[in-house]
Amino acid sequence: MKYKACLFDLDGVLVDTAVYHFQAWKILGKHFNFELSHEQNEELKGISRVESLDKILHWAHFQATQDQKGRWLKEKNETYLELISHMNPSEILPGVISFLDQLKEQGYLIALGSASKNAGIILEKTGLTNWFNAIIDGNVVTKSKPNPEVFLKGAEALGCPATACIVFEDAQAGIDAAKAGGMKVVGVGSPTILRGADKVISSFTELQVSELLLL
Ligand code: G6P
Ligand code: MG
User: Active-site residue 11, yes or no?
Assistant: yes
Rounded Cα–Cα distance for residues 80 and 74 (Å): 10
Active site residue 54: no
What is the rounded distance in angstroms from the CA atom of residue 109 to the CA atom of residue 196? 24
Minimum CA distance residue for ligand 1 atom 7: 46
Rounded-to-integer distance, Cα 35 and Cα 46, Å: 20
Residue 118 CA to ligand 1 centre (angstroms): 8
115 close to ligand 1 (CB < 6 Angstrom): yes
Question: Three-state SS for 67?
Answer: helix
User: In residues, how long is the chain?
Assistant: 215
All residues with CB under 5 Å from ion ligand 2: 9, 11-12, 170-171
Torsion-angle region of 204 (φ positive above 0: left; ψ -120 to 50: alpha; else: beta): alpha
Per-residue pLDDT of the chain (215 residues; tens, 9 = 90+): 899 999 999 999 999 999 999 999 999 999 999 999 999 998 999 899 999 999 999 999 999 999 999 999 999 999 999 999 999 999 999 999 999 999 999 999 999 999 999 999 999 999 999 999 999 999 999 999 999 999 999 999 999 999 999 999 999 999 999 999 999 999 999 988 899 999 999 999 999 999 999 99
Ramachandran angles phi, psi of 134, nearest 5°? -150, 145
Which ligand number lies closest to the CA of residue 54? Answer: 1
Is the CB of 21 inside a 6 Å radius of any atom of ligand 1?
Answer: yes
Claim: this prediction has a pTM higher than 0.85: yes
Residue 1: the pLDDT is 80
If one residue of 43, 75, 114, 116 were mutated to test the ligand 1 pocket, choosing by the most ligand atoms within 8 A of its CB, it would be: 116
C-alpha closest to that of 79 among 138, 22, 164: 22
> Cα of 46 to ligand 1 centre, how many Å?
6
Contact at 8 Å (CB) between 131 and 102? no
Asked whether 84 and 17 are in contact (CB, 8 A), the reply is yes
